[in-house]
Amino acid sequence: MKKTFFRPLAVSAVTALAFSLSLSSCSNEGESNDNDSLPQDTAVTQDSTPTVQQYAQVPSPGEMFTFMKMVGAQNAKPEVLNPTANQTKYESKKDRAVNFGIYSADLLYCSTFKLPQALKYFATVKTMGDKLQVTTSITPADEDRINKNIGNSDSLVAVSNEKYYAAFANLEANQRGTDLSLMLAGGWVESLYLMTTMVKDFEKDNKAVARIGEQKYSLDNLVEYMKKYESDEDVNTVLKQMNELKTLFDDIPAANDAGTMNSKNGKRVLGGGGSKVTMTKEQFERIKAKLTEIRNDFITV
Amino acid sequence: MTIKALFLALTAALAAPALSAQDCAGFHKKAGCSQASEDGFIYNSQSKSGLFAPGTASNLKVVFYEGFDYSISLCGDKAIGAEMAFKLTDTKTGEILYDNATDSKAQHMEFSCETTRPVTITVTVPGSAPAGDKKNVKPQNGACVGVLIEQKPSAKVGF
């Protein structure tokens, strides 16, 4: 009787133990791969106060180009993009991750400003994604959609954004924070570089210049995000470059007084801060020069 | 309870599936999370989901840009139960811009942005924080929470 009783119990106990151990190892996977897990900044407080985790978010290239489109920026041209032929040169993980971000930004630039090169950059993003082993979820049907919508910016942007978010989510879900850091840095630098190429006359294009200056805030967040992975040599190298750029952006005065949330015509409005972010022509030229230097370093092997 | 029943109960408890952070990825994209008041709002990439333990909070540092309307929706696992607390603070000055404690614990809010600002969204899950290691949320204690941010260009008024 005892033998019959204990055998199935022993089996189920071993099974449960094995299952629990496997779950535990999955949840600890991020911890064992310290460089690739998504570390969380946690303030250890007394039991009565909630512990706080902190995340710094960065806008996507598509969102950054939307800012430019909204202020009527024109002069979009394919000559400023990273040539698709360069993709064969990117062998190291760092070059692939950074340029995956760069080509994603180029695709969104083509989509936003209706450049016919969108299809070519779509294919390049897929290839780079494959090399980096990132799921971009790009299918032949997507390529067909791009082809059919070359003149339709809204549809092109929707497809391109969808693929960008899929790649982002894939890297995040698989706790590839290092690669995601590099992709974000590449995408952000390329986006801002392309934005600066759209400013032909500093005075006349002042709204576009203001949008560029506002990116000081997203750069703060990007640097904060990357700092979590600075123990990785590649991230550390790129982070140093971002900090050089940040030093120039920090020279731009921003509104120091507090924001306000008021009601206007029954709607909440976030405003306040006496002055907006403004930069001089000299500051703009310095930032543009540094951006170009960093961007060219990224795309040149 | 017999030893056999106790053992089987223990086995079942050990074998119960637990949430991981990966399970929460994309939680904010699930149907029904958006509470945007009108059409035209599109996904903003600064949205985020995460695994929360009771009594824990998370700060999401984002940037809101001039010329856009924003919709912020919170969604959480049923396990969370009561409404989550959330507030917006000016990242630079710490000024509280919005606190849902003064808004009937609303789980959604919208606003129009007239000046580009860095803002911190703080979400707090109700309950008492678990004792012990506060750095890592144990899967069996956690629940998914999503912060969905959506945007659309602000309507131009006047001539």
> For residues B81 and B99, which has the higher predicted lDDT (pLDDT)?
B99
Q: What residues have CB less than 8 Å from A195, skipping those under 6 apart? A: A64, A65, A67, A68, A73, A208, A211, A212, A215
How far apart are the C-alpha atoms of A131 and A92, rounded to whole Å? 10
> Residue B22: pLDDT above 90?
no
Mean pLDDT, residues A189-206: 93
Percent of chain A with pLDDT over 70: 80
The predicted-structure confidence for A58-96, as pLDDT tens digits, reads as follows 999 999 999 888 888 888 999 999 999 999 999 999 999
How far apart are the C-alpha atoms of B113 and A78, rounded to whole Å? 32
Domain ranges in chain A are 56-299
Measure CB to CB from residue A169 to each of B7, B26, B95 and give the nearest one: B26
Domains of chain B: 19-129+140-153 (2.60.120.380)
Residue numbers in B near A63 (CB within 8 A): 44-45, 151
CA Rg value for chain A? 23
Question: pLDDT-based confidence at A42, cuts 50/70/90?
Answer: very low
Percent of chain B with pLDDT over 70: 76
pTM to 2 decimal places = 0.83
Question: A1: buried, middle or exposed (CB in 10 Å: 19+, 13-18, 0-12)?
Answer: exposed
Q: What residues have CB less than 8 Å from B2, skipping those under 6 apart? A: none
pLDDT of res. A266: 86
Cβ <8 Å between B97 and A270: yes
Question: pLDDT-based confidence at A102, cuts 50/70/90?
Answer: very high
| Residue from B88, B115, B124, B128 to probe the interface with A (highest A Cβ count within 10 Å) | B115
| Cβ atoms of residues A193 and A177 within 8 Å | no
Determine the distance in angstroms separating the CA of A152 from the nearest CA of chain B, rounded to an integer: 17
Mean pLDDT, residues A222-232: 97
The predicted-structure confidence for B87-144, as pLDDT tens digits, reads as follows 999 998 899 999 999 999 999 999 999 999 999 999 999 887 666 555 555 556 678 9
pLDDT of res. B7: 61
Mean pLDDT, residues A45-62: 74
Give the least confident one: A134-143, A199-208, A248-257, B104-113: A134-143
Question: B82: buried, middle or exposed (CB in 10 Å: 19+, 13-18, 0-12)?
Answer: exposed
| Cβ atoms of residues A277 and B116 within 8 Å | yes
> For residues B143 and A34, which has the higher predicted lDDT (pLDDT)?
B143
pLDDT of res. B17: 55
Give the least confident one: A141-145, A217-221, B93-97, B109-113: A141-145
Determine the distance in angstroms separating the CA of A55 from the nearest CA of chain B, rounded to an integer: 5
pLDDT of res. A182: 97
- Identify residue B50 by its one-letter amino acid code: G
Q: How many CB atoms lie within 10 A of CB B132?
A: 8
pLDDT of res. A108: 95
Residue numbers in A near B18 (CB within 8 A): 23, 27
The predicted-structure confidence for A245-262, as pLDDT tens digits, reads as follows 999 999 998 766 778 899
Average pLDDT, chain A: 82
Determine the distance in angstroms separating the CA of B46 from the nearest CA of chain A, rounded to an integer: 5
- B9 reaches A (C-beta below 8 A): no
| Cβ atoms of residues B68 and B111 within 8 Å | no
Percent of chain A with pLDDT over 90: 54
Residue numbers in A near B153 (CB within 8 A): 70
> Residue B48: pLDDT above 60?
yes
> For residues A89 and A22, which has the higher predicted lDDT (pLDDT)?
A89
pLDDT of res. A2: 42
Half-sphere exposure for A158 (CA within 13 Å, toward CB): 10
